[in-house]
């Protein structure tokens, strides 16, 4: 995994980590959800960390989650896909972002806190 996820110092753009449900979806379904979000965020001018594209050194669930949290810790924002509440991993990423005071963005307005 690349140790420098946050390119904002380099090019002035904010870096956003995408979070959402993977387990229980087909590989094709979740990759499409994440890729669609990645494309939207790039169009908005962000650097994007798509966890589907990360190289994981550990293959266990807990090992992959820890590596994902490290990637998230290097980002300016997190973008929660509309299905994030159906995923234990995404909920963990959400609470990690809250604790680290990383700005949280939501795909779905219904998930917004305090009116976004």
* Residue 47: inside a domain: yes
* Residue 40: inside a domain: yes
How many CA atoms, within 13 angstroms, populate the side-chain half-sphere of residue 34? 24
Q: What percent of the chain has pLDDT over 90?
A: 75
Domain count for the chain: 1
**Residue 18's pLDDT band (boundaries 50, 70, 90)?**
very high
* Residue 1: inside a domain: no
* Residue 69: inside a domain: yes
Phi-psi region of 92 (alpha: psi -120 to 50; beta: other; left: phi over 0): alpha
Domain CATH for 95:
3.40.50
Task: Judge whether 72 and 104 are in contact, CB under 8 Å.
Answer: no
pLDDT at residue 110 is higher than 90: no
pLDDT tens-digit profile of 38-59?
999 999 999 999 999 998 888 8
Which helix (H) or strand (E) segment holds residue 67: the answer is helix 61-73
Domain residues for the domain of 100 are 17-111
* Residue 12: inside a domain: no
């Amino acid at each position: 995994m690349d140790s420098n996820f946050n390119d904002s110092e380099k090019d002035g753009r904010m870096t956003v980590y995408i979070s959402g449900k993977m387990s229980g979806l087909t590989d094709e379904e979740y990759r499409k959800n994440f890729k669609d979000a990645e494309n939207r965020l790039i169009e908005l001018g962000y650097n994007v960390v798509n966890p589907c594209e990360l190289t994981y050194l550990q293959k266990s669930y807990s090992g992959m989650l820890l590596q994902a949290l490290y990637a998230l810790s290097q980002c300016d924002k997190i973008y929660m896909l509309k299905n994030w509440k159906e995923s234990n991993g995404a909920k963990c990423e959400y609470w990690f972002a809250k604790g680290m005071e990383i700005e949280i963005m939501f795909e779905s307005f219904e998930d917004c806190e305090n009116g976004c």
